[in-house]
Structure 1
Amino acid sequence: MDRSGKALQGFLAVFLATLATGLAAPAPAGAQDGGFSSCIQTLRRDASQRGILPQVFERSTSALTPDTSILRLLDSQPEFSRQPWEYINGLVAANRVAEGRQLLQRHRAVFDRVEQTTGVDRHIVAAIWGIETSFGKAKGNTSVIRATATLACYGRRQEFFRDEFLAALQIIARGHVAPQNFRGSWAGAFGHTQFMPSTFLRAARSGSGSAHIDIVGSVADAMMSTGNLLREEGWARGQGWGYEVVLPAGLDLGLAGRDRPQSIAQWEARGVSRAGGRPFPRRGDMAFLHLPGGARGPAFLMLPNFRVIMKYNNSENYAMAVGHLADRLHGGGPFMRPWPVTERALSRDERIELQQRLAQVGLYSGTVDGKLGAGTREALQRFQARAGMAADGFPTAAVLQRLRQGG
């Protein structure tokens, strides 16, 4: 390993140690001995291969310094650490619904073009806009170049962010965003609907047919780009995202899960009905049963478009928030069945323990990170079924205690 590599490795060790104890991280080694600069310079050849001129690279990086304050945010994701209802209700607030309805009217011509061109429901596109940046009011004020450069050299996802850093330089080189306006989230997402730089290069489209695409300053460009991204990810025109449903007594909750889809007609044959008594519009659609609040919370049949929304942010809670806000913007009301709001969320240590104990009994083989995604829930379902509990995959203090007792 060369000297700069050792400096980088040393910084990581010190940073992670101080982070674990809750102390502020020290200045990175690169700030004193050129480790950060050396890391950036290793990307010069890759930049050239992408058509980024040397003067653009030099102008963008000559005075660049790392911002290590953003590293501690890598594992801070409310989609995975809060109860579903806390997360969803916080995003689908009454004032956001009211503002979104007004903006859909104000930009009606824009959303008409988006629907006609991409086939994506305008309410879904508007919901993403509202959730990502509060309809453009909170686009972020972190330099995209600095954020992606920092994460390209430090942290656990360096390879991913090296590509994002180079993509950000390409965006500047092509003149889509002026350097002084190229600001966004701590992770490098930018614009009205928070595209990562590589996503911008792949999916961004102008709302007016111009070669210049401005998702920071133009609502039309941002909405068209968002609709186009969802279309490219497989959005099914004319299909919604899912339905709240009523489950019959005695239904096997082990049928829930993304890997167990059935047709709407098959779910109806099992006694599942749409909440409110309305009919399902297409009985041949495939859907999976989703129980985000467990057996005591609302139940849903999720259509393929739900998985498309997750391509935007790989979180079921995020996709539910987008879908629910879209329904509210369209005139719908709250979910009909209440959430089990008295059930406390497990702490991060408890979520990690849950995964560890599921692994110890041979039911979980995924990453032990405290993020309770589909893999953890499926393992939990198997444990609950084995223990004679309702196999809803919902993590509670009671089921953790049962795991501690050995089932």
Structure 2
Amino acid sequence: MKALITLLLGAGISVNALAAKPEFTDYITTLKQEARQLGISEQTLEKAFANVSYKPRAVKADRNQPEKKLTLDEYLVKALPEWRVKQAKNLYTKHYRELQRVGKLYGVQPRFIVALWGIESSFGKLTGGYNIIDALSTLAYDGRREAFFRQETMAALTILEQGHIQVEEMKGSWAGAMGQCQFMPSSFLSFAQDGNGDGRKDIWDTESDVFASAANYLKQSGWDDNYTWGREVQVPDSISDAMVGRQQDKAKKLQEWNRLGVRKTNGRPLPKLDKDIDAWLIMPDDRNGRAYLIYNNYQVLMKWNRSYYFGLAVSRLADRIKED
């Protein structure tokens, strides 16, 4: 316990808050008991927890928020440097045949698959180096979101039980997001796909599985490849703040926004589609920044990640891929 206290102090965590806690090793015993009740085998448990260790840096990362909030323009500059746009286009071309197959199978435009891949993990280069069982066990033990992280730990053990990955290769972020599409274990169980038909769902090293898994997530979440995500717009002063937001009751038909004076960035009227669709007006930086009309596909991206900035980075990268 003394060694654990030293680690906690080094991470800036109050020891008093853990006074009534069991030791980490005892907590792991309770995780194993829960896993057994879910049908996880002793062989899997032995391998998963053989070298498990507490990770204070994961707790510190979970508790610390960035001090400076970037504006949308600042964020997009960082998220979409020209080298990333160029790489996205090159990879779209390189994997064109497979992306078209996956896109047709799941009903998702391939450029959005590549854009998600690029923003989530820089096309598989930045996937995180934490052992997933270490990270999830640590965050469950910490207790701030114990129920959530215990559930994710059980999901991770299920993935190991199913044989999709070996525990030493099951790497990800401090929060437990895994692989090139950064799925949490529960999302893996719900959406991961065996894209190349080898019997495994490998979102770490198999690009076909990454593409199929991302596309399946979007499709199962309501994606419609008949439409795009939305567009940046000009908004007249007559539009009130009460009309801004992505809540269902703030949806208006595209042509209604047109009648209200919302225009393309070049000042022209909004497009007339064969079928008028719902659209929402968002201003991520309030009236001080950019305004967008978003469609249902953008709402789907918000299920993947609840950040407006993330959704716009993915959407803009997808648009840049389309430019060629």
Task: Return the TM-score normalized by structure 1.
Answer: 0.72
Tell whether 2:35 aligns with 1:47. yes
**Matched positions, count:** 316
**2:234 touches 2:262 (CA, 8 Å); kept in 1?**
yes
In structure 2, C-alpha distance between the alignment counterparts of 1:78 and 1:264, rounded to whole Å: 36
Distance 1:298 1:202, change over 3 A: same
**Does the 8 Å contact 2:254/2:270 carry over to 1?**
no
- Identity fraction in percent: 33
Q: CA deviation at 1:182?
A: 0.9
Q: 1:224-248: per-residue Cα shift (whole Å, max 9, x none)? A: 0000011111112221111111223
CA contact (8 A) 1:79 1:315 kept: no
Structure 1 residue 107 displacement after superposition: 0.5
8 Å CA contact 1:241–1:303 kept in 2: the answer is yes
Alignment of 1:82 onto 2:73 = no
Which residue of 2 is the match for residue 153 of structure 1?
A: 141
Corresponding position of 2:102: 114
CA displacement, residues 98-145 of structure 1 (integer Å, 9 cap, x when unaligned): 000000000112211221111112111111111111111111111011
Rounded Cα–Cα distance in structure 1 between residues aligned with 2:162 and 2:285:
46
Structure 2 unmatched ranges of 5 or more: none
- Cα 1:223–1:88 change in 2 (3 A) is same
Aligned to 2:319: 327
In the other structure, the counterpart of 1:310 is: 302
* Aligned residue identity for 1:301: L
Query: What is the alpha-carbon distance in structure 1 between the residues aligned to residue 131 and residue 122 of structure 2?
Result: 20
Equivalent residue in structure 2 for 1:124, among 89, 100, 112: 112
Separation in structure 2 between the aligned mates of residue 126 and residue 191 of structure 1, nearest angstrom: 15
Give me the whole-angstrom Cα distance separating, in 2, the residues matched to 1:285 and 1:268: 12
Match of 2:291 in 1: 299
CA displacement, residues 314-343 of structure 1 (integer Å, 9 cap, x when unaligned): 1111111111111112118xxxxxxxxxxx
Structure 1 residues 233-242 or 262-271, which shifts more? 233-242
Q: Which of these two proteins has the greater Rg computed from alpha carbons?
A: 1
Aligned partner of 1:286: which letter? Answer: D
Aligned Cα root-mean-square deviation (Å):
2.8
Q: Which of the numbers 238, 243, 255 marks the counterpart of 1:265?
A: 255
Distance 1:262 1:321 in 2: 24
Describe the SS at the equivalent of 1:306. helix
1:280 equivalenced with 2:271 (yes/no): yes
Q: CA separation of 1:78/1:92 partners in 2, compared to 1, >3 Å: closer, same or farther?
A: farther
Is the 8 Å Cα contact of residues 79 and 317 (structure 1) preserved in structure 2? no
In structure 2, what is the Cα distance between the partners aligned to 1:28 and 1:175?
40
Give yes or no for contact 2:196–2:208 (8 Å, CA) kept in 1: yes
Q: Secondary structure at the match of 1:82?
A: coil
Distance 2:147 2:257 in 1: 43
Rounded Cα–Cα distance in structure 1 between residues aligned with 2:16 and 2:49: 17
Q: Structure 1, unaligned stretches of length 5 or more? A: 333-407
| CA 171–198 in structure 1, closer or farther in 2 if over 3 Å, else same | same
What's the CA shift for 1:274? Answer: 2.0
State how far apart, in whole Å, the 2-side matches of 1:234 and 1:147 are: 31
1:272–1:53: structure 2 CA closer, same or farther, 3 Å change rule? Answer: same
Task: Give the Å deviation of 1:36.
Answer: 1.0
> CA 1:172–1:261 in structure 2 vs 1: closer, same or farther (change >3 Å)?
same
Q: Between the two structures, name the one with larger relative contact order (CA 8 Å, sep ≥ 6).
A: 2
Contact 1:79 1:87 in 2 (8 A): no
- Which residue matches 1:231? 219
For residues 173-194 of structure 1, the C-alpha deviation after alignment (integer angstroms, 9 at most, x for no partner) is: 2111122211111111111111
